[in-house]
Structure 1
Amino acid sequence: MQVLASLTRAKLGWGALQPVSSRIRLARAALLGRHSVMPSPLDRLLPGLVAFLVVACGEEGGGGSALVPAPRASAVSPPGPAADPSAPARAARETAPTVSAARVEGPALRFAKEKHEFGEASDTRILRCAYAFENVGTEPVVISRIKPSCGCMTTRLSKMCFEPGEGAELELEWKPLGRGRQTKGLTVHSTAFPGGFHRLFATCEVRPFVRVEPPLVYFGEVEMGKEHTLRATLTCEDPSFVIESIACPNPHVAVAVVEDTSPGPRAIEVTVRESAPWGQVVGKVTVRVRGRVPPGDGEVVHDLSFNTHARVFGDLRTDKTMFAVGKVSPGAKFRYEVRLTRASGEPFRLLDLGVDNSQPPGMTVAAEPLAAGGYKMVLTGASGSYRGYVRGQVRFATDVPGEPARRLAIAGNVAE
């Protein structure tokens, strides 16, 4: 065994690079404890042993040459403590670069990905992902603001300033609403980007836990002073779902479950009450249900919201429910028209017409008679140096019996 050890040390050390005969003599010398290298009967035995060891060592490497020195073994660190499952969420991820890229002059931020695809997901879940990035420039990068495109999204970033070579992960939480394929955006503001900002995206095929058909309960034009009712149908991924509550904050809209047909879809009624005022009546209905999310993820309590809309008129009516001027450029003029007529077709006179609470100041309204009867009310204005929302009311009064003075809202926005 001492011979084998000596030969192995010779093979793995500097002796592996010397001729075989020299290694035989050195091995014999090591065995006998002397330095003589003269031939002896042992010399006839050692070549066979060396040949055997050479072949055996070569077979361990799959047939490679046994004369190639083995690489130095790498250091192995002792095992550490068990990993903390929550550590990734709390780690200071900016300490290690996450995006490999060549350095560029000035501040430069580079993301490993621009878009995250969640695939299909229930709207009962909170979706989470992260966008890794690195400062690949030669100067520090400051992120001034991160703006999601929707209130259903929140972001988290450990800090806002990154030295060259530093990286981190921008974490996103998304509570999807609605149904179908949706794409949301994040705008990252920083001087590190051309134009001062950079857009990231997240996409999901939203599968609603509860559905309502139709998604908008639309009454159209209805007669003032009378009750009007429409039905909608609720369905759920859990056929045995329970409706815990249903309500609408508009006092002129009533909602109720028609009958409990569990398991299966449920019918609900939406009613515009006879007390509904003249003009546009809008209600937001919220239904709270309890059920189990397939495939067995447990019981959830989930809220579904949908809208109802009606245009309530008496004899006097308009073709629009507001003066919606929309977006107005700074320094620009704008104009919007609303037609005022009678359902009976009888002629009438305008007794009063004006604008109240004008923003921007100076909006005016004028009446132009229509050939078929009635009037065209024309709103005009100029944004000038004003910035912000366009607001106010157009008031009008007529000689139509039973129709008091009415108002229509003005809505818009002055922006670049």
Structure 2
Amino acid sequence: MKKQFVIGLLVAGGLWSSGCEKKESTAEEVTATEQNASAGNAVPANDPATNPNVTSQEAVNTNAAKPAMTFKKTEHDFGTINQDKRVQHTFSFTNTGQAPLVIQDATATCGCTVPEWPKEPVMPGETGTIKVEFDPAGKLGQQSKQITIRANTEPAENYLTIKTNIVGSVPQAGAAGPVRLN
């Protein structure tokens, strides 16, 4: 019993002393950092040796010129279309910013909507287009699809919307019984 008590005291003392050592080293690190800062030797936040999230020591300029994507209109309604008729619309935009605009990606909420965008940078003041093709096959009624454009703009995402009402010759069950497709 005494042996277990002595072992317990030794373990507790070892844990206590290791905890004190950590506190002292932290205090020493803070003191060293304070001394460096007061001496004008502060480590920059973009130093790759101390910050693994940066790759170089280049200064980050948050006020740098940025591109801006301005659309003439962001929504298009195709009206009523037949189920067997593919439709397309071209959205026009202008780079109203001060830097080249680069579109990284354009995606739609559905595989039936396919956007095409310029792969080359659009210079400030120049215009570009995004062509959107919609395939209504297999759909009926009111439809609304959103296209997300990711670019080097602020905000990084811009949105376009297409709408339509689809009518077609989809067989429906009625008084004559179930519909048979051959």
Q: Deviation of residue 112 (structure 1)?
A: 0.8
Whole-Å separation in 2 of the counterparts to 1:198 and 1:160:
18
Given that 1:144 and 1:160 are in contact with CA atoms closer than 8 Å, whether structure 2 keeps it comes out as no
Whole-Å separation in 1 of the counterparts to 2:145 and 2:109:
6
Report the number of matched residues. Answer: 115
Calculate percent identity across the aligned residue pairs: 25
> 1:209 is aligned with what amino acid?
S
Aligned partner (choices 103, 106, 119) of residue 159 of structure 1? 119
Q: Deviation of residue 199 (structure 1)?
A: 1.1
RMSD: 1.8
Q: CA 1:139–1:211 in 2, change beyond 3 Å: closer, same or farther?
A: same
Q: Which has the higher helix share?
A: 2
**Alignment-derived partner of residue 70 in structure 2:** 110
SS of 1:141's equivalent in the other structure is: coil
The within-5 A match list for 1:113-192 is 113-176=73-136, 177-192=138-153
> 1:142 is aligned with what amino acid?
V
Whole-Å separation in 2 of the counterparts to 1:112 and 1:181:
24
Tell me the TM-score normalized by structure 2: 0.58
Whole-Å separation in 1 of the counterparts to 2:101 and 2:118:
14
Q: Deviation of residue 165 (structure 1)?
A: 1.1
The answer to whether the aligner puts 1:232 opposite 2:175 as a matched pair is no
Q: CA 1:160–1:149 in 2, change beyond 3 Å: closer, same or farther?
A: farther
SS of 1:146's equivalent in the other structure is: strand
Q: Deviation of residue 117 (structure 1)?
A: 0.5
The answer to whether the aligner puts 1:213 opposite 2:173 as a matched pair is yes
Whole-Å separation in 2 of the counterparts to 1:186 and 1:175:
14
Residues 249-301 of structure 1, C-alpha deviations (whole Å, 9 max, x = no match): xxxxxxxxxxxxxxxxxxx2xxxxxxxxxxxxxxxxxx57xxxxxxxxxxxxx
Any stretches of 5+ residues in structure 2 without a counterpart?
Answer: 1-64
Whole-Å separation in 2 of the counterparts to 1:202 and 1:116:
5
Q: CA 1:130–1:107 in 2, change beyond 3 Å: closer, same or farther?
A: same
Q: CA 1:157–1:130 in 2, change beyond 3 Å: closer, same or farther?
A: same
Given that 2:66 and 2:154 are in contact with CA atoms closer than 8 Å, whether structure 1 keeps it comes out as no
Given that 1:111 and 1:134 are in contact with CA atoms closer than 8 Å, whether structure 2 keeps it comes out as yes
Given that 1:155 and 1:171 are in contact with CA atoms closer than 8 Å, whether structure 2 keeps it comes out as yes
Higher Rg of the two aligned structures: 1
SS of 2:70's equivalent in the other structure is: strand
Q: Deviation of residue 156 (structure 1)?
A: 1.8
Whole-Å separation in 2 of the counterparts to 1:201 and 1:111:
12
SS of 1:210's equivalent in the other structure is: coil
Q: Deviation of residue 208 (structure 1)?
A: 1.8
Whole-Å separation in 2 of the counterparts to 1:110 and 1:137:
9
Tell me the TM-score normalized by structure 1: 0.26
Given that 1:143 and 1:188 are in contact with CA atoms closer than 8 Å, whether structure 2 keeps it comes out as yes
Given that 1:124 and 1:209 are in contact with CA atoms closer than 8 Å, whether structure 2 keeps it comes out as no
SS of 1:213's equivalent in the other structure is: coil
Q: Which has the higher strand share?
A: 1
**Alignment-derived partner of residue 14 in structure 2:** none
SS of 2:78's equivalent in the other structure is: strand
SS of 1:161's equivalent in the other structure is: coil
Q: Deviation of residue 130 (structure 1)?
A: 0.6
Whole-Å separation in 2 of the counterparts to 1:153 and 1:174:
5
Residues 139-164 of structure 1, C-alpha deviations (whole Å, 9 max, x = no match): 11111100011111112224242111
Any stretches of 5+ residues in structure 1 without a counterpart?
Answer: 1-104, 215-230, 234-267, 269-286, 289-416
Deviates more, 1:108-117 or 1:172-181: 172-181
Which structure is richer in relative contact order (CA contacts within 8 A, separation 6 or more)? 2
> 2:172 is aligned with what amino acid?
V
SS of 2:178's equivalent in the other structure is: strand
